[in-house]
Amino acid sequence: MVNKLNSVKIKLYNTEIFLENLSIINQPWNIKHIILKSSEIINILNQNNNIIINPQIMASIRINKLNEKIISINLNEISILENHYTHKINKPEIYLREDNKNNLLYSIRIKELLYQPIFIENNVIKNIDINGSLANYKSLNINSYDTWLSNEGGIDIDNFKLNVNKTFINGNAFIGMDENIDIQSSISLEANNLYELFLILRNKNFINKNTLETSKFIIKAIEIASKVSNTTPKFSINIQNGNLSLMGVKLLNVKKLKY
């Protein structure tokens, strides 16, 4: 059975969602499985950004025998309008599943991510694959995510991989927040040509010359040691008290998530 809705408007906290049509498909033989489909553009407005989701859009929601929700979302393209820039996410796939420990398991795949003005043209981020979980996700309120991150939640990234041009990266991470609304994060990764990423950041004036030189010294030292032991270079990045450090050496300041 197919139910069609026209001129749909949804308000969720400080976010408004608009779409011209939405088809809700119910399967009589499985009432715990719903399919959502739209062939029109979806506009999402919040305080800071205008997000445009281009068709086709397909989502599936089902409930398994343990009463856990399983959600899959397939999109064509997402455009995020921020100030004078347009960021684009090409061919995203999102998979979500509840577990019995009040966590939300997730898997995200993205073909290409264009983030202006840094990751553009030949330096688009490609083949993104992220898997992990959100701890205590039912306590998350989108209007006070900082409270959730600092008190009882966090984003576990069990594994991720991506590439920027000829630089390939994979690793794991955790993202949280302290009581001062500073990001708390630890990242372990393997990478080749990691210095090329810092060159991109420098060319776009995202980091200064001193930061570039410091990163070069650290990365080259790790690469030499890895070559001797015939292993892939491994790096650790930590964000704490508003500072980002590479292998324990401070490189730059990190802005708060919320002001």
For residue range 203-223, what is the model confidence (pLDDT) as tens digits?
Answer: 999 999 999 999 999 999 999
Is residue 259 predicted with pLDDT exceeding 60? no
Tokens of 126: 């490609």
Structural domain spans, the chain: 1-98
For residue range 109-127, what is the model confidence (pLDDT) as tens digits?
Answer: 999 999 999 999 999 999 9
For residue range 152-203, what is the model confidence (pLDDT) as tens digits?
Answer: 778 999 999 999 999 999 999 999 888 777 889 999 999 999 999 999 999 9
Tell me which residue of 34, 109, 47, 38 sits closest to 82, measured CA to CA. 47
For residue range 12-34, what is the model confidence (pLDDT) as tens digits?
Answer: 667 788 888 889 998 777 888 99
- Strand, coil or helix: 107: strand
Q: What share of the chain is helix, strand, coil (3-state, %, to 5)?
A: 20, 55, 25
Confidence band for 2, pLDDT divided at 50, 70 and 90: confident
Q: How far is residue 44's CA from residue 159's CA, in Å, rounded to a whole number?
A: 29
